[in-house]
Amino acid sequence: MENLKKNTYFQFLDLYLSRVTILVFIFSLFLFSDCHTNSPKNQNSIVGYKLIVDYPDRKEVYILPIENIVGNELSDILAGYSLQQDPSIRFVSTSQSIEVMDVLGTRNNFQYAWRLYVDYKEVSPSDLKKSKPVQLNQIIQLKYLPLRKNLVE
Protein backbone atom coordinates (compact mmCIF):
# COMPACT_ATOMS: atom_id res chain seq x y z
CA MET A 1 0.00 0.00 0.00
CA GLU A 2 2.84 2.36 0.84
CA ASN A 3 4.46 1.60 -2.50
CA LEU A 4 1.23 2.57 -4.27
CA LYS A 5 1.15 5.92 -2.43
CA LYS A 6 4.75 6.62 -3.47
CA ASN A 7 3.94 5.82 -7.12
CA THR A 8 0.88 8.05 -7.04
CA TYR A 9 2.89 10.85 -5.47
CA PHE A 10 5.63 10.56 -8.11
CA GLN A 11 3.10 10.42 -10.92
CA PHE A 12 1.44 13.56 -9.57
CA LEU A 13 4.82 15.27 -9.20
CA ASP A 14 5.85 14.25 -12.71
CA LEU A 15 2.57 15.53 -14.20
CA TYR A 16 2.84 18.80 -12.24
CA LEU A 17 6.45 19.43 -13.33
CA SER A 18 5.68 18.71 -16.98
CA ARG A 19 2.83 21.25 -16.93
CA VAL A 20 4.99 23.85 -15.20
CA THR A 21 7.74 23.24 -17.76
CA ILE A 22 5.30 23.73 -20.63
CA LEU A 23 3.94 26.94 -19.09
CA VAL A 24 7.45 28.33 -18.52
CA PHE A 25 8.36 27.49 -22.12
CA ILE A 26 5.26 29.23 -23.50
CA PHE A 27 5.86 32.28 -21.30
CA SER A 28 9.48 32.53 -22.45
CA LEU A 29 8.34 32.33 -26.11
CA PHE A 30 5.95 35.25 -25.58
CA LEU A 31 8.65 37.21 -23.79
CA PHE A 32 11.19 36.55 -26.56
CA SER A 33 8.76 37.47 -29.35
CA ASP A 34 7.83 40.71 -27.54
CA CYS A 35 11.50 41.68 -27.17
CA HIS A 36 12.15 40.85 -30.81
CA THR A 37 9.33 43.05 -32.14
CA ASN A 38 10.42 45.98 -29.95
CA SER A 39 14.03 45.85 -31.13
CA PRO A 40 15.46 49.04 -32.65
CA LYS A 41 16.55 47.11 -35.76
CA ASN A 42 12.92 46.76 -36.85
CA GLN A 43 12.42 48.84 -40.04
CA ASN A 44 8.84 49.72 -39.09
CA SER A 45 10.12 51.54 -36.00
CA ILE A 46 11.73 54.30 -38.11
CA VAL A 47 9.57 57.41 -37.90
CA GLY A 48 10.02 59.72 -40.83
CA TYR A 49 8.72 61.12 -44.08
CA LYS A 50 8.27 58.71 -46.97
CA LEU A 51 9.36 59.82 -50.44
CA ILE A 52 8.57 57.81 -53.57
CA VAL A 53 10.59 58.61 -56.69
CA ASP A 54 8.88 57.35 -59.88
CA TYR A 55 11.05 56.99 -62.96
CA PRO A 56 9.55 55.74 -66.24
CA ASP A 57 11.21 52.33 -65.70
CA ARG A 58 11.43 51.93 -61.89
CA LYS A 59 10.24 53.17 -58.51
CA GLU A 60 12.40 53.91 -55.47
CA VAL A 61 11.25 54.54 -51.88
CA TYR A 62 13.18 56.61 -49.34
CA ILE A 63 12.52 57.39 -45.68
CA LEU A 64 14.00 60.46 -44.03
CA PRO A 65 13.94 60.30 -40.21
CA ILE A 66 12.27 63.29 -38.58
CA GLU A 67 15.47 64.10 -36.66
CA ASN A 68 17.05 65.30 -39.93
CA ILE A 69 14.35 67.85 -40.73
CA VAL A 70 14.03 71.42 -39.48
CA GLY A 71 10.27 71.89 -40.02
CA ASN A 72 7.21 70.18 -41.46
CA GLU A 73 6.94 72.25 -44.67
CA LEU A 74 7.34 70.43 -47.96
CA SER A 75 10.30 72.56 -49.02
CA ASP A 76 12.11 71.78 -45.72
CA ILE A 77 11.49 68.05 -46.13
CA LEU A 78 12.80 68.03 -49.71
CA ALA A 79 15.82 70.09 -48.64
CA GLY A 80 16.45 67.52 -45.88
CA TYR A 81 16.45 64.74 -48.47
CA SER A 82 18.82 66.75 -50.64
CA LEU A 83 21.23 67.48 -47.78
CA GLN A 84 21.28 63.81 -46.86
CA GLN A 85 22.10 62.99 -50.52
CA ASP A 86 19.65 60.10 -50.49
CA PRO A 87 18.21 60.97 -52.98
CA SER A 88 20.00 64.11 -54.08
CA ILE A 89 17.48 66.70 -55.22
CA ARG A 90 18.36 69.97 -56.92
CA PHE A 91 16.03 72.95 -57.14
CA VAL A 92 15.64 76.17 -59.09
CA SER A 93 14.17 78.94 -56.98
CA THR A 94 12.71 82.22 -58.19
CA SER A 95 10.75 84.89 -56.36
CA GLN A 96 7.51 83.17 -57.38
CA SER A 97 8.26 79.44 -57.34
CA ILE A 98 10.57 76.54 -56.51
CA GLU A 99 10.96 73.84 -59.16
CA VAL A 100 12.55 70.41 -58.82
CA MET A 101 15.16 70.23 -61.60
CA ASP A 102 17.27 67.17 -60.82
CA VAL A 103 16.79 63.97 -58.80
CA LEU A 104 19.75 61.58 -58.54
CA GLY A 105 21.25 62.94 -61.76
CA THR A 106 18.05 62.74 -63.81
CA ARG A 107 17.40 66.28 -65.02
CA ASN A 108 14.46 68.01 -66.59
CA ASN A 109 14.72 68.25 -70.37
CA PHE A 110 12.54 69.26 -73.31
CA GLN A 111 10.55 66.02 -73.14
CA TYR A 112 10.34 65.07 -69.44
CA ALA A 113 10.10 67.02 -66.19
CA TRP A 114 9.82 66.26 -62.49
CA ARG A 115 6.40 66.78 -60.93
CA LEU A 116 5.72 66.80 -57.22
CA TYR A 117 2.71 65.16 -55.55
CA VAL A 118 1.51 65.01 -51.94
CA ASP A 119 -1.15 62.35 -51.29
CA TYR A 120 -1.53 61.88 -55.05
CA LYS A 121 -2.40 65.57 -55.59
CA GLU A 122 -0.03 67.64 -57.70
CA VAL A 123 1.80 70.47 -55.96
CA SER A 124 2.58 73.41 -58.23
CA PRO A 125 5.97 75.17 -58.01
CA SER A 126 4.23 78.26 -56.60
CA ASP A 127 2.58 76.15 -53.85
CA LEU A 128 5.99 74.69 -53.01
CA LYS A 129 7.29 78.24 -52.53
CA LYS A 130 4.35 79.01 -50.18
CA SER A 131 5.57 76.36 -47.69
CA LYS A 132 2.87 73.70 -47.82
CA PRO A 133 2.78 71.75 -44.48
CA VAL A 134 3.07 67.95 -44.68
CA GLN A 135 2.07 65.38 -42.05
CA LEU A 136 4.00 62.16 -41.34
CA ASN A 137 1.25 59.93 -42.76
CA GLN A 138 1.13 61.76 -46.12
CA ILE A 139 2.93 60.36 -49.16
CA ILE A 140 5.38 62.57 -51.04
CA GLN A 141 6.02 61.57 -54.66
CA LEU A 142 8.34 62.84 -57.35
CA LYS A 143 7.35 61.63 -60.82
CA TYR A 144 9.40 61.99 -63.98
CA LEU A 145 6.64 62.52 -66.52
CA PRO A 146 6.38 63.75 -70.11
CA LEU A 147 5.88 67.49 -70.50
CA ARG A 148 2.38 68.70 -71.16
CA LYS A 149 1.92 70.25 -74.56
CA ASN A 150 0.12 73.58 -74.55
CA LEU A 151 -1.35 73.86 -78.02
CA VAL A 152 -2.42 77.36 -78.97
CA GLU A 153 -4.88 77.54 -81.85
| pLDDT exceeds 60 at position 37 | no
For 2, the domain range is: 1-38
Do 4 and 64 fall within a single domain? Answer: no
| Stretch among 33-37, 91-95, 145-149 having the lowest mean pLDDT | 33-37
pLDDT at 3: 55
48-54: strand order across its sheet: 59-65, 48-54, 139-146, 112-118, 121-123
Average pLDDT over residues 108-128: 90
Describe the chain by its helix, strand, coil percentages, rounded to 5: 40, 30, 30
pLDDT at 118: 92
pLDDT band for 68, please (50, 70, 90 cuts).
low
Average pLDDT over residues 24-47: 62
Do 72 and 132 fall within a single domain? Answer: yes
CA angle 90/92/97 to nearest 5° reads 130
| pLDDT exceeds 70 at position 126 | yes
pLDDT at 147: 84
pLDDT band for 99, please (50, 70, 90 cuts).
confident
Q: Kindly state whether residue 125 falls inside one of the protein's structural domains.
A: yes
Q: Kindly state whether residue 153 falls inside one of the protein's structural domains.
A: no
Do 31 and 74 fall within a single domain? Answer: no
